[in-house]
Amino acid sequence: MIKHKTDAVYTFQEVPAEKSSIEEWNRFVLRFPYYHFMQSWQWAEFKKKFGWEGYHLALYKNSRIKGAVNLSTPCRMFLKDRLYSSPGGVVLDQKDKAVCKVFFSHLNSLLKQRKASFLKLSSFMPEKDKPILSLLENFNIQPSKKETYSIGLAQIPSTLVIDLNKQDKESIKKKFHIKTVQCIDKSYRDGLEIKPVKSEEDLAVFYTLLLSTAGRKKFMIHPFSYYREFYNIFCREKHKYNPYGKILLALHKGKVIAARSGIIFGRRLWELNAGSDIKHLRMRPNHRLVYELIKWAIDDKCRYYDFNGVITEKEQPGQRDKFHRDLTEGLAFFKARFGGDYIKFIPEHDLVLSRGFHRIWNCMIPGIKLHRKISEFLGN
């Protein structure tokens, strides 16, 4: 176990996998306004099953967590212990300068001890949060020169979020575009039924729809084992401080024609994956499934519904109406018509310990992107 005793006050160590420690970790994360399910204990454990090694590290002061970070490194021989990433970034009170200084000092020492080349920190804090940028700069953590969302790392550039405060299942429709409301009403008239995934047979149907959509839209998805593990870890049982998920299926006359999944952590729901049968899109199952997930969020007393990413070349930060008018293409347009507010995140940052390897990594990114594009085109 990793453990750095600093003095009588602070201890920087790996958190033991005990029930009380896991709950304490998640409760600490949920104290902060921009928490993310990727910062939860369970998500880091989930990643370990699919090619990553991970560590839950925390700074303790008088036996209470004052700072936390999930560190992950890919198991691939070339990158193992060279590249570290932290989905969601560090969890710290940025106003407590003393804690920040001790935390980053020990994180830096640990990475050097493990001969790491650099740490990639993603974040889901709004770009308007200037203090965090100053804090990162103070500890020599610089904006990444190359974005890595397109090669499968965690950072997404922006998202749309619906504020569910004081909303019920009917009043929330007032936020939607009239065409979206009409599509939802049409799905009811057409007799669409919604049911959650409850078996591996249901999961297989869900995965078939993902494969179909991925082939049609030319994007990559995970193997079936990934979604099966997601279901087993997050969808079977609900615990107060743990993230938990749901996979919904839309059926017409007993045939599954679309599916969508989401995950709740704290008082926020994030969308995850979606797939549909192109032959039945006229029944608007995707509009209905988003509405069903929103209703689930309202039932669970969530404050926010997060579309978990929107990518457009026509981003207009701070200009909501213009942004909504300019979104005229595909998925971004579909999401925008549910009335969410546009949020652009601060860029991913790198803590560089080996400038040589970091330069090599930046040179590799265009090649990795090209490889992914070819794989997506070929449907692999």
Q: How many domains is the chain built from?
A: 2
Q: How does pLDDT run along the chain (380 residues), one tens digit per residue?
A: 565 555 668 899 999 999 999 999 999 999 999 999 999 999 999 999 988 888 899 999 988 999 999 998 887 656 676 788 888 889 998 888 889 989 999 999 988 888 888 888 888 888 877 667 777 777 778 887 655 544 455 568 889 999 999 999 999 999 999 999 999 999 999 999 999 999 999 999 999 999 999 888 777 889 999 999 999 999 998 888 999 999 999 999 999 999 999 999 999 999 999 999 999 989 999 999 999 999 999 999 999 999 998 865 444 444 444 444 444 357 888 998 999 999 988 888 888 887 777 777 777 766 655 555 555 445 44
Dihedral angle sign, alpha carbons of residues 111, 117, 122, 127: positive
> pLDDT tens digit string along 301-319?
999 999 998 865 444 444 4
Whether residues 290 and 326 share a domain: the answer is: yes
Whether residues 142 and 247 share a domain: the answer is: no
**What pLDDT is attached to residue 7?**
61
Instruction: Say how far apart CA 277 and CA 337 lie, in whole Å.
Output: 21
> pLDDT tens digit string along 32-74?
999 999 999 999 999 999 888 888 999 999 889 999 999 988 8
Q: What global pTM score does this model have?
A: 0.87
> pLDDT tens digit string along 132-170?
777 777 777 888 765 554 445 556 888 999 999 999 999
**Which H or E run includes 252?**
strand 244-252
Whether residues 173 and 83 share a domain: the answer is: no
For residue 233, what are the domain limits? 158-344
Closest CA to 89 of 54, 124, 65: 124
State the pairing for strand pair 304-306/64-74: unpaired
Q: Domain holding 99: CATH number?
A: 3.40.630.30
At residue 169, φ and ψ (nearest 5 deg) are -70, -20
Residue 217 burial by Cβ neighbours in a 10 Å radius (0-12, 13-18, 19+): exposed
**What pLDDT is attached to residue 275?**
94
Whether residues 214 and 352 share a domain: the answer is: no
Whether residues 201 and 339 share a domain: the answer is: yes
**What pLDDT is attached to residue 263?**
97
Whether residues 82 and 202 share a domain: the answer is: no
Instruction: Say how far apart CA 143 and CA 137 lie, in whole Å.
Output: 9
Let me know: does 341 contact 303? Beta carbons within 8 Å.
no
Which residues lie across from 2 on neighbouring strands? none
Whether residues 314 and 364 share a domain: the answer is: no
At residue 98, φ and ψ (nearest 5 deg) are -65, -45
Whether residues 166 and 46 share a domain: the answer is: no
Whether residues 336 and 207 share a domain: the answer is: yes
Whether residues 361 and 251 share a domain: the answer is: no
Let me know: does 146 contact 352? Beta carbons within 8 Å.
no
Instruction: Say how far apart CA 291 and CA 183 lie, in whole Å.
Output: 11
Whether residues 206 and 258 share a domain: the answer is: yes
**What pLDDT is attached to residue 251?**
96
Let me know: does 162 contact 335? Beta carbons within 8 Å.
no
Q: Would you give the DSSP letter of residue 309?
A: -
Whether residues 313 and 247 share a domain: the answer is: yes
Instruction: Say how far apart CA 218 and CA 214 lie, in whole Å.
Output: 5
**What pLDDT is attached to residue 329?**
55
